[in-house]
Chain A
Amino acid sequence: MTLLANKECPVSEKTGEMKPVPDRANKITVEDVSILFGEVRALNHVSFSVKSNEILSVIGPANSGKTSFLRAMNRMNDLDIACRMTGSIRLNGQDIQKEMDAEDVRRKVTMVFALPLPLPMSIFDNVAYGPRRHGIKNKRKLAEIVEKSLKAAFLWDEVKDRLSSSGMKLSGGQQQRLCIARTLAVEPEVILYDEPCSGLDPISTAKVEDAMFELKKRYTQILVTNNVKQAARVGDRTAFFLTGELVEIGETGKIFTSPRDQRTQDYITGRFG
C-alpha cells in the first residue's frame, strides 16, 4: 500500500517545488505505532493514513495521546529521553525513524504549537529564521520568501509596514499566524497544529482557520484540537482518540452525524471529556 502511494505521489523532491497534488495519495502512513513515556503508555497500536492535501482533525479528551501522536510525526518526541516508540511512520513511503534524519523530517513536517511562540526577534527575522538556517543568504530571495509566507498566512497586510518591529509585540492571533508563516517559509510538505487556537479569541481563530483552508491547496495538514466544533469546521476527515487508542477515523461529516462507535457519539455531543 505504501509502495503504491509512493508511485502515485508526484511531489517533486528534487526541485523542492510543491505542486498541488491532484490525487488523494497517502502522504503519511502510520503503522502499528505505540508510544511509551517511561512506563506510561501514551499511544496504543495505532494505524491509519493521511492523504495528501487533506486536513485531518484529531479530537479527544486530555491524555488521549493526541499530542504525543502529533509530536511523533515530526520526531519532536525524540527530545524526551523517556519516550520510546514502536511501529513505523512513513512520509512519502520513507520511514521517518530509520530512513530520514530528524532535521530532515522536521523540515518537511513542521509544527505550530498551542501557544504562539515567536522567537525574540523581528517579524522579518522570525519568518526568515528557517530559510537562513537552511542556507539561504541572498537578501532578495529572503525578502521574497518572507513576503510569500506572510501572505499565505494572511498576515502580510497587517504587518507589511513594520517588518522590523518585534514579533513579540503582535497580538496573540497575529503571533500565531506569524508562527504559521515561519513554518511555511521552510517549504514543508505537512503542517502539524497542536491546538493552535486554544489561546485565541473567536475572530483570530477564524483568521487562522481561513489560512488553513487556503493552505490546503499546497499542504497536508493535521490539526489536533480540543474544540470539537473547530474539528468539524476545518477537517476533511476526523480521528477520535481515547486513552491512547484510535477509536474512529472517517469523513468528518460521517463522524459527526453517524459515528460508528458509541464513545465517539458521547464525546462529540459533550457527554464527557
Chain B
Amino acid sequence: MKPQTKQKIAFTCLGLAAVVVIIPVIVIFVILIDKGISAINWQFLSTMPRMGMRAGGIYPAIMGTVYLVSGTILVALPLGVLAAIYLVEYAKRNWWTRMIEIAIVNLAGVPSVVYGLFGMGFFVIFFKFGASILAGSLTLAIMILPVIITASKEALMSVPHSFREASLALGVSKWQTIRCVVLPNALPGILTGTILGISRAAGETAPILFTVAAFYLPRLPKSIFDQCMALPYHLYVLSTQVPNVKESLQYGTALVLVGMIFLLNLVAIIIRSHMRSKKQW
C-alpha cells in the first residue's frame, strides 16, 4: 500500500473518531431542547414549585445550585491554588510530597457517592453542621480539589523557569516572584481547571444527596446552615420520586442545568482566550 493511501485511511479514521465524539453531545442537546423548551418561560425560572413540584417553577433549585457552586469556589479555589503553589514552588522532592501527590491522584478517582457519604459523616454529623449549604459546599469542594490542584500545578509548571530566575536575580524575594510573575502567567490555566471543576460540582447529585439537598423546599434558604434545593437532585426527584410529572418539566429542568454548565464553560473559554491574546510567550 502506498504511504499516501495509508495516510488517507488514517485521516479518515481520525476524522470519524472526532465525529463520533460530538454526536452524543448534539443528540443530547437536540432531545433536551425538543422536549424541554416548551416548559421554559420566565415563570418557570423565577417562581416556586407548586402542587408537589408538578407545577410552578424551579427558582429555588436554580438558586440553590448557584449558592452551592459559589460556596464551592470560595473554598476550593484558594485551597487548591495554595496547595499547588506549595507543591510546585516550595516542596522538596521527598517521600512526603510524593505521598501528597499520590493522595491527590487517588482523590480524583474516588466515586462521587463516597464523597457524599464522607460529607455526611464528617461535616453533617461530626462537625454538626447538619444538612446545610455549608456541608454541601465543603463536600463538593473536596470532591473538585484534585481537579483544581492538578490543573493549577500544570499551569504553574508551564511558566518558564527562566522567568523565575530573571526575577530572583534582581533580588526579588521568592514569594514576590510567585505573586508578580508566576501566578499572573499561570492564571489562564488555573481558571480553566477551576471552571471544569465547578461545572462538575454543579452537575453532581450524589455528594449533595446526604449533605444539603432538600426534597421539596419551596422557599429560599435563610443562611448557610439552611438546606436548599439543587438542580441535579431536583431533576432526579422529578424523574423518579414524583408520579405524574409532565415530561416537559423534567426536560426543562435538565435543559436549565445543562445550560448553566454550558454557560460556565463558555465564561471559562472567554476568559482564557482573552488572557491568551495578552500572553506574550
Q: List residues of A whose CB falls within 8 A of some B CB.
A: 74, 76, 79, 81, 103-108, 110-111, 113, 115, 117-120, 129-130, 133-134, 166, 168-169, 179, 182-183, 186
With a 10 A CB-CB cut-off, give which of A76, A120, A182 has the most chain B CB atoms: A120
Residues 152 to 196 of chain B near chain A (Cβ within 8 Å): 162-163, 165-173, 176, 180-181, 185
> Could you tell me if A110 and B280 are in contact, using CB atoms closer than 8 angstroms?
no
For chain B, the bracket of interface size reads 10 to 19
Cα A13 to Cα B154 in complex, Å, equals 43
> Which residues of A are found within 8 Å of B169, using beta-carbon distances?
74, 76, 106, 110-111, 113, 183
> Could you tell me if A107 and B281 are in contact, using CB atoms closer than 8 angstroms?
no
Of A76, A110, A120, A182, the residue contacting B279 (CB under 8 A) is: A120
Across the interface, name the chain B residue whose C-beta is closest to A166.
B280
In the complex, what's the smallest C-beta–C-beta distance from B255 to chain A, in angstroms?
41
25 contacts between A and B (CB under 8 A): A76-B168, A103-B173, A106-B168, A106-B169, A106-B170, A107-B171, A110-B170, A111-B169, A113-B162, A113-B165, A113-B166, A117-B166, A118-B166, A120-B163, A129-B170, A129-B180, A130-B172, A133-B167, A133-B170, A133-B172, A134-B171, A168-B281, A179-B166, A182-B166, A186-B171
Across the interface, name the chain A residue whose C-beta is closest to B161.
A79
Across the interface, name the chain B residue whose C-beta is closest to A131.
B170
Cα A110 to Cα B171 in complex, Å, equals 7
Of B165, B171, B279, the residue contacting A108 (CB under 8 A) is: B171
> Could you tell me if A182 and B170 are in contact, using CB atoms closer than 8 angstroms?
yes
With A168-B280, A168-B281 in contact, do A119 and B171 touch (Cβ < 8 Å)? no
With A81-B92, A129-B180, A168-B281 in contact, do A119 and B168 touch (Cβ < 8 Å)? no
> Could you tell me if A120 and B162 are in contact, using CB atoms closer than 8 angstroms?
no
> Could you tell me if B170 and A186 are in contact, using CB atoms closer than 8 angstroms?
yes
With A110-B171, A129-B180, A130-B172 in contact, do A119 and B166 touch (Cβ < 8 Å)? yes
> Could you tell me if B165 and A76 are in contact, using CB atoms closer than 8 angstroms?
yes
> Which residues of A are found within 8 Å of B172, using beta-carbon distances?
103, 129-130, 133-134
Across the interface, name the chain A residue whose C-beta is closest to B180.
A133
> Could you tell me if A107 and B280 are in contact, using CB atoms closer than 8 angstroms?
no
With a 10 A CB-CB cut-off, give which of A79, A105, A110, A115 has the most chain B CB atoms: A79
> Which residues of A are found within 8 Å of B165, using beta-carbon distances?
76, 79, 113, 117
With A79-B168, A103-B171, A186-B170 in contact, do A133 and B176 touch (Cβ < 8 Å)? yes
